[in-house]
Amino acid sequence: MTKKDGAEAASATGKRLVFAYYVTGHGFGHATRGVEVVRHLILAGHDVHVVTGAPDFVFTTQIQSPRLFLRKLVLDCGVVQADALTVDRLASLEKYSETAVAPRDSILATEAEWLKSIKADLVVIACLSFFTYVVPVACRAAADAGISAVCVTNFSWDFIYAEYVVVAGYHHRSIVWQIAEDYSHCQFLIRLPGYCPMPAFRDVVDVPLVVRRPQHSRKEVRRELGISEDKKVVILNFGGQTIGWNLKEEYLPPGWICLVAARILQDAAHGKNYRSDKVSGARRLRDAIVLGFQLQRAPGNDISIPK
């Protein structure tokens, strides 16, 4: 295994590769950035099997190709949040234990068998965002199947959960060691900026942030939303979490418009009941970051502008 990009390696040998691409379904941001990588791999002539809990439309609206295969599966739980800013550490550890520890043997057997069935050449465990969720158990499953794996991230769950264990009274300590052991099976880490210590990985390749190319210009997005060029726009986004703050009208200066990312109905999130009006819709702002939003105009906007 070299550190050459899979597409470059294939172009040099003329071989079509099969990628198993694990990407978290926590929020759409991780998946939409992963779309850009998947799209380039497919354009280079490779097959990509995406394993994710994200809605299919996140990928199919951007990629129409017989080389794209989607498999709906949740193997990670991230963190349990009481609200937009508060993490329940003990509940997060218990949720991970329930999701990936208790059924571990079954998950490993199923994933190893599936990876062999698609004849995967490389397993990529990635979520391409400033903070990313890498599925630890997929690393071990790849090793069990005898297939090389790489991780793409800027933090690892052993580092995050280690602090949770201390705060939560040392419950589920074995989780941290198991996650680190799972990560150690990766050939190397493709490390994004803003990273934390990740000693479980043997070898590291540093890369810039990965982002999806916009499909529309700033001017086009503003025109679609009916926002004039003289207005200043701020986006309030806490991953679709229900914010529940009692914000006041005077928090937003004159001339500002606030786009608030909010929890949206499941059908809307999946694009089933998409409404084309300019003040709502799950997919209207694909190129302005927010998926699921409310458009609020001054006066009467809900936003706090830092001084």
pLDDT digits (tens, 9 = 90+) for 62-113: 899 999 999 998 887 778 877 767 889 999 999 989 988 999 999 999 999 9
Q: Which two tokens stand for residue 149?
A: 């794996």
Which residues, listed in sequence order, are joined to residue 205 by a DSSP beta bridge?
190
Q: Output Rg (C-alpha) for the chain, integer angstroms.
A: 21
Helix (H, G, I), strand (E, B) or coil at 74: coil
DSSP state of 101: I
- Give the pLDDT mean for 254-267: 64
pLDDT bracket for residue 284 (50, 70, 90): very low
| pLDDT higher than threshold 90 for residue 189 | yes
Lowest-confidence pick of 128-132, 225-229, 279-283 = 279-283
β strands within 61-206, DSSP E: 68-72, 122-126, 149-153, 188-191, 204-206
**Which H helix or E strand runs over 257?**
strand 256-261
Q: Which amino acid is at 89?
A: R
Considering the four listed CATH numbers 3.40.50, 1.10.3470, 1.10.10, 3.30.70, the one that applies to the domain covering 6-206 is 3.40.50
Which residues, listed in sequence order, are joined to residue 81 by a DSSP beta bridge?
87
With 0-12 CB in 10 A as exposed, 13-18 as middle and 19+ as buried, what is 276? exposed
Helix (H, G, I), strand (E, B) or coil at 152: strand
Exposed e or buried b for every residue in 89-108, given b needs 16+ CB within 10 A?
A: bebbbbbbbebbbeeeeebb
β strands within 157-227, DSSP E: 188-191, 204-206
CA geometry: angle 104, 107, 111, nearest 5 deg: 145
Q: Where in the chain is the domain with CATH 3.40.50?
A: 6-206
What gap in Å lies between CA 195 and CA 181, rounded to an integer?
19
Predicted TM-score (pTM) of this structure: 0.74
- Give the pLDDT mean for 41-62: 91
| pLDDT higher than threshold 70 for residue 2 | no
Other beta carbons within 10 angstroms of residue 174's beta carbon come to 10
